[in-house]
Amino acid sequence: MNTIPFGPRNPPDDPLLAKAAELPKDVAPTHDLWPGIAARLGEAEKPAARPFRWPLALAAGVLVASVSALLTWSLVRAPEGPVPSTQVAKTTPEPVPTEPVPTDIVPVKYGPNSGLSAKDFGARDELLRQFRGRFASLKPETRAAIAKNLAIMQTAADEIDAALAKDPASGMLKGMLVGTYKQELQLYSTVVTAGDGLTRRI
Amino acid sequence: MSIRNVCLAAATLAALAAPSLAGAETSPDGRPIMKHVNVAPDATVEVSNVQGRVEVATWDKNEVELVAELESPKDELEFEANERYVRISVERPNGKYRHDDDDEDDATLTLRVPKGIRLIADTVSADIAVSGLRGEQKLESVSGEVQTQAFDAPVRATSVSGEVSVVGNGGKATVSTENVSGSTTVGGIRGDYHGEVVSGEIRATVAAAQKIELNSVSGDIEIKAELTPTSRVNMESVSGTLTLKIKPPVNAEFDVESFSGDIDSCLGPKAHSTSKYTPGSELNYTQGNGGARVEMQTLSGEISICDR
């Protein structure tokens, strides 16, 4: 089988991951880091920003990039030994309620073949906490679309996990898993930063 | 220099460095709020809105003009500006924004800006429409539609559930789109294209791009592409259908693989099974003189390749 170990998602080829590799792994800055970052990035001169919003946007962006980079790295280094297929738990997507509430939002569960660690999930869950805080303020149809698509991602993650159980060395499947995970994080991040006047800067 | 002169110089510098305009205001009588500021031709303009619309058009003046129509008396318009940077934001003072069925809370921001500015627009449910802008664009909405044109500067357009549309104008802009459940349409671009979608679809027409990267979870992707000898195409989906239509003559190396989906190509040989124990299939061949490289992968989605 022809394996393709991540191709364009390797840090040298992926601008997002390349930038992420240069970023600190901490999520919540304890003081105003942005002026220094902006100076390094050559940002335009700006009037004094409101103090309460940018840390949220920055933290969300950093989290997405950092977790993606960590995930890619961890999968690249993951041993390629076979994983018993009996560990695969086939799940059925939950029915999507018409107007989901924040507690209805269940993050995607990645199976035992995913290579994801508790650290990866911890970072994702922090972003999810912020996402839930914003979720209730969205239009009902948007909430329904988000819940539906998280269920689609769950189905995809289950299918990839089952396929990885059969072919644990497949770079193609690992690449798809990374892609699904990135999509999930980007979904949370887009909602967390929406309407803040500061989009993700990464 | 005397102390008085030093103080005067410091005051002058402070006045020059300060934003030329800053403040928040409401529109209790429903009248549009108008703002006007002179800016550098390559200034950065950040616009944020919750519900309604952001519309950006260009003109030949080095000025930013804003007309803000706030239908809710609770909405507050924040406007900060200096020559290099303009920030426009519609805020709800209590921090809550909710959708009302009668749409009375719409805020419409209409801007005219210099052609070369860098634009960052960010909304919750407000649509974003940009025309004629040559500078870099980062446009992001949760449920609003995002429509823009691409020239030579990078364009990034994102919407969770709204539609995304980018129309090229012959330039070599690098275009990036992200969508969850909405449809993405990209047409007439000549630069690199990176597109991601979860369950929505991507339909794109790209000419002479160096790099095309498209990813989906369950959404379908269809692209019409003209390849150069150095083009690199990478399409990937978990369960969505990937369709690649290449403008002839086709000179490319193909590396196509599906874990359990079908591969159908009107070029080259038939796909063959990767294993007698699994349903996977793959297709590797060189068409014409080679040069361009095409990689396509799915888990269970179908793959279709043709030159027509």
Query: What number is the ipTM of this complex?
Result: 0.81
**Beta bridge mates, B119:** B45, B137
Of A2, A44, A196, the CB nearest to B282: A2
Residue of A nearest to B43 (CA): A44
Pairwise CB contact (< 8 Å): A4 & B82: no
pLDDT of residue A193: 85
CA distance linking residue A43 with residue B295, whole number of Å: 36
A119/B contact by beta carbon, under 8 A? no
Pairwise CB contact (< 8 Å): B217 & A196: no
Query: Is the predicted pLDDT of residue B10 greater than 50, yes or no?
Result: no
- From chain B, the residues in CB contact with A191 under 8 A are 142, 160
φ/ψ of residue A131, rounded to 5:
-60, -45
- CB-CB contact of B159 with B123 (8 Å): no
Give pairs for B181-187: CB < 8 Å, separation 24+: B181/A145, B181/A148, B181/A149, B182/B145
Q: Of A173, A13, A182, which Cα lies nearest the Cα of A80?
A: A173
pLDDT of residue B161: 94
Grade residue A11 by pLDDT with cuts at 50, 70 and 90. Answer: very low
Helix, strand or coil, per DSSP, at residue A178: helix
Query: Is the predicted pLDDT of residue B7 greater than 50, yes or no?
Result: no
CA distance linking residue B267 with residue B296, whole number of Å: 14
Q: Of B220, B222, B194, B224, which Cα lies nearest the Cα of B206?
A: B224
Q: Of B230, B239, B198, which Cα lies nearest the Cα of B212?
A: B230
Grade residue B201 by pLDDT with cuts at 50, 70 and 90. Answer: very high
Of A142, A180, A199, the CB nearest to B238: A180
B202-216/B193-197 β-pairing: parallel
Region A57-79: what's the mean pLDDT? 54
Cα distances from B123 to residues A175, B120, B140, B159, B168, in angstroms, run 31, 10, 6, 9, 23
A10/B contact by beta carbon, under 8 A? no
B221-237/B63-70 β-pairing: unpaired
| Residue positions counted in chain A | 202
Grade residue B74 by pLDDT with cuts at 50, 70 and 90. Answer: confident
Residues 72-91 on A with a CB inside 8 Å of B are: none
Point out the least confidently predicted range of B40-44, B75-79, B184-188, B273-277.
Answer: B273-277
Q: Of B199, B239, B178, which Cα lies nearest the Cα of A149?
A: B199
- From chain B, the residues in CB contact with A138 under 8 A are 99, 124-125, 142-143
Region A16-36: what's the mean pLDDT? 51
| Sign of the CA dihedral running B91, B92, B93, B95 | negative
Residues 140-179 on B with a CB inside 8 Å of A are: 140-143, 158, 160-161, 178
Cα distances from B267 to residues A51, A144, B287, B303, in angstroms, run 58, 42, 7, 13
B273/A contact by beta carbon, under 8 A? no
DSSP class of A194: T
Distance (Å) from the alpha carbon of B159 to chain A's nearest alpha carbon: 8
CA distance linking residue A84 with residue A80, whole number of Å: 12
B75-123 residue pLDDT tens: 889 999 999 999 999 987 655 555 554 555 789 999 999 999 999 999 9
Q: Of A102, A96, A90, which Cα lies nearest the Cα of A162?
A: A90
Q: Quick one: how far is CA A56 from the chain centroid? A: 16
Grade residue A35 by pLDDT with cuts at 50, 70 and 90. Answer: low
Select the highest-mean-pLDDT range: A42-51, B7-16, B35-44, B167-176.
B35-44
pLDDT of residue A188: 93
CA distance linking residue A147 with residue B199, whole number of Å: 12
Furthest CA-CA distance within chain B: 91
Residues near B101 by beta carbon (within 8 Å), at least 6 away in sequence: none
- CB-CB contact of B23 with B98 (8 Å): no
Helix, strand or coil, per DSSP, at residue A4: coil
Residue of A nearest to B20 (CA): A47
B21-25/B146-150 β-pairing: unpaired
Residue of A nearest to B117 (CA): A44
Q: Which two tokens stand for residue A90?
A: 């086939």
Point out the least confidently predicted range of A75-79, B216-220, B239-243.
Answer: A75-79
Point out the least confidently predicted range of A15-29, B52-66, B118-132, B229-243.
Answer: A15-29
Region B226-245: what's the mean pLDDT? 96
- Report how far apart the first and last C-alpha atoms of chain A are (Å, whole number): 36
Pairwise CB contact (< 8 Å): B213 & A8: yes
Amino acid at A181: Y
Region B44-59: what's the mean pLDDT? 96
Residues 143-172 on A with a CB inside 8 Å of B are: 145-146, 148-149, 152-153, 155-156, 159-160, 163, 166-167, 170, 172
Cα distances from B117 to residues A96, A197, B59, B85, in angstroms, run 43, 17, 11, 10
Query: Is the predicted pLDDT of residue A96 greater than 70, yes or no?
Result: no
CA distance linking residue B210 with residue B232, whole number of Å: 6
Query: Is the predicted pLDDT of residue A64 greater than 80, yes or no?
Result: no
Pairwise CB contact (< 8 Å): B299 & A159: yes
Q: Is A195 exposed, middle or buried (0-12, 13-18, 19+ CB in 10 A)?
A: buried
Q: What's the pTM?
A: 0.77
pLDDT of residue A194: 83
Residue of A nearest to B281 (CA): A1
Query: Is the predicted pLDDT of residue B215 greater than 60, yes or no?
Result: yes
Grade residue A21 by pLDDT with cuts at 50, 70 and 90. Answer: low
Region A91-118: what's the mean pLDDT? 73
Percent of all residues in chain A with a pLDDT value above 90, rounded to a whole number: 23
Greater confidence (A7 vs B190) lies with B190
- CB-CB contact of B295 with B233 (8 Å): yes
